[in-house]
Amino acid sequence: MSVTERLIRYCKIHTQSDPNQEEQTPSSARQFDLANLLVQELKQIGIDDAAVDEHCYVYGHLAANTDGNAKTVGFIAHMDTAPDFSGENVQPRIIENFDGNDIVLNSTRTMKMDDFPWMREFKGKRLLVAGGDTLLGADDKAGIAAIMAALEYLYEHPEVPHGPIAVAFTPDEEIGNGTKCFSLEKFRADFAYTMDGDAVSGIADETFNAASARVAFTGFSIHPGEAKDKMINAGSLACRFHAALPAYMTPEHTAGREGFIHLTHMSGATEKAELEYILRDHDSRKLEEKKQLMIKVVDYMNNLIGRNCVEISFRNSYRNMKSVLEEHPEAVSIADQALKNLGITPVNVPIRGGTDGANLSFMGLPCPNLGCGGGNFHGPYEYCVLDELEQSVQVILEIIRLTKEA
C-alpha cells in the first residue's frame, strides 16, 4: 500500500476528539476505530507486539536486525483530528499536477490562492484536499501514514540494516491531552520524533509555553426598571474586561516570537458570565507577565466596583521544549543531517503552537517535531503535498539509518 493510499484510508475514519469529554481518555470512543486498524496493520508488517491499551494508545516495536548497541529511535503521531471543524465523512481528492490556481472544493467553498499565496509554490506537485465540508485530517494522519509506510518498507526489505525502533499513535492531542496517559515504560525509546509538522523541510525544537485562563463574572440581577445604582451586569463586565486587554496582544496582530492572549470562548447573561482564554509565548517570563497583566485588570475592576465580582484562574498546559533539546542535541542533529542527505534544506522555525513532543521532552523523552507536507490545518482548506509526504517517509528511513550508525 502506498503512503498516499494509507493517508486516504486513514482520513476517511472519523476520529475527532471531544473537548467536552476531556476528563476521560480517550475523549471519544471513535478513536479506537483507527487504533484497532493500526494494530492490525502493524502486525501484518512484522510489529508482533503491537497493541492498543485501554486509553487508546498504540505501541509497537521493531527489534534491531544487526549486532551493535544502537539507541532506540521512536516515531509518534496522533490519531485524533481537531474539533474546530467537522471530521466526519471526509472525502479526500487528489489533484494531479497542481496548476497553481484556485481550487474549487465544492459549490460553496473555494481555496483561493490570494488567501494562501505560498501554495502557488506547489505548482506541478500532487495535492490531497477534502471536499469542502470537512477538514482533511492530514493533521496528523499524514504522520501516521509516513511512519507506517517506513515500517512497511523495512518489512519488505529485511536486508536493510537498522537498530531498534519504537512507534506510538496517540489520542486527544488536539485537545491538549495527547501525553496524558502516555507510557514511557511501554514506549522504551532513547529519543523520538513527533511527525506532526507541515513542510517536510521543517525541524521544530521550540514551542510556545502555554497556559489557559478562565475569568468568571458574578453580577447582581434586578428588574431593569429598578436597576439604578443596584444592577451589576456580568455580561457588561465581561465586555469591559476584554476591552481592557491590549489589542496588539491578540493572535491576529502577532507573528514570529510574539506571544498572545486569545479569547476562545464567551458566555453569560446579567447574573453570570465567563470568558476563556489561551496564553502563549516562547519566553516563559513573558508568559507570566501576560498572566500578571490579566490579574491587574481583575483587581482594577473589583476595586472599581467595590466588591469581588471578577475572579480569574489559570492552568498551565505545556512548556517550551527548547531547554530540554539543547541538553540532548543528538535528536535534532540527526534529523538535520537526514534532511541534508536527502537534498532537503532544513528549516528550523519556532512553532507558534505546541506538540506532544513538548510534554514528552519534559517527561524525559527528547522529541523534536518533523513535517509531512500538510498545511491549513483545522479547517476545510487543509491540504497535504503528496510529494512531500513521500519525502517524509525517506526522512524517517534516513533517521533510522543514521541512528544505527551513531
For residue 204 the three cell numbers come to: 521544530
Which of 370, 358, 355, 382 is closest to 111 using CA atoms?
382
- Specify the CATH number for the domain of residue 105: 3.40.630.10
Question: Is residue 353 pLDDT above 90, yes or no?
Answer: no
DSSP summary character for residue 216: E
Residues 55 and 202 in one domain: yes
Four-CA torsion 380, 139, 183, 348, nearest 10 degrees:
-130
**What does 235-248 look like in DSSP terms, one character per residue?**
HHHHHHHHHHS-GG
- The pLDDT score that the predictor gives to residue 63 is 96
Domain of residue 143 covers: 3-206+320-405
Distance CA 30, CA 37 (A): 12
CB neighbourhood size of 305 (10 A): 13
Q: What is the pLDDT of residues 172-227, one digit of tens each?
A: 999 989 999 999 999 999 999 999 999 999 999 999 999 999 999 999 998 899 88
Residue ending a domain, choose from 318, 351, 381: 318
Residue ending a domain, choose from 271, 286, 318: 318
Average pLDDT over residues 137-164: 97
Q: What is the pLDDT of residues 250-297, one digit of tens each?
A: 999 999 999 999 999 999 999 999 999 999 999 999 999 999 999 999
Distance CA 312, CA 294 (A): 8
18, 41, 80, 174: the catalytic one is 80
Residues 201 and 213 in one domain: no
- Specify the CATH number for the domain of residue 217: 3.30.70.360
152, 173, 388, 390: the catalytic one is 173
- Which parts of 12-64 fold into alpha helices (H)? 31-44
- The pLDDT score that the predictor gives to residue 96 is 97
How many domains, the chain? Answer: 2
- The pLDDT score that the predictor gives to residue 83 is 94
Q: How many helices (H) and strands (E) does the chain have?
A: 10, 17
Residues 32 and 175 in one domain: yes
Question: Is residue 68 pLDDT above 90, yes or no?
Answer: no
Residues 7 and 94 in one domain: yes
Residues 148 and 90 in one domain: yes
Q: What is the pLDDT of residues 88-131, one digit of tens each?
A: 999 999 999 999 999 999 999 999 999 999 999 999 999 999 99
Is 173 noted as a catalytic residue in this protein?
yes
- The pLDDT score that the predictor gives to residue 4 is 98
- The pLDDT score that the predictor gives to residue 220 is 92
What's the pLDDT band for 350 if we cut at 50, 70, 90? confident
Residues 182 and 224 in one domain: no
Distance CA 152, CA 3 (A): 10
Residues 101 and 59 in one domain: yes
- The pLDDT score that the predictor gives to residue 406 is 82
Is 326 noted as a catalytic residue in this protein?
no
Which of 126, 138, 127, 36 is closest to 87 using CA atoms?
138
Residues 171 and 277 in one domain: no
Residues 251 and 387 in one domain: no
Q: What is the pLDDT of residues 300-343, one digit of tens each?
A: 999 999 999 999 999 998 899 999 999 999 999 999 999 999 99
Question: Is residue 355 pLDDT above 90, yes or no?
Answer: no
Residue ending a domain, choose from 318, 347, 368: 318
- The pLDDT score that the predictor gives to residue 317 is 87
Residues 221 and 187 in one domain: no
- Which parts of 130-283 fold into alpha helices (H)? 138-156, 184-187, 234-244
Q: Which residues lie below 8 Å from residue 180, measured CB to CB, with a gap of 6+?
A: 25, 55, 172
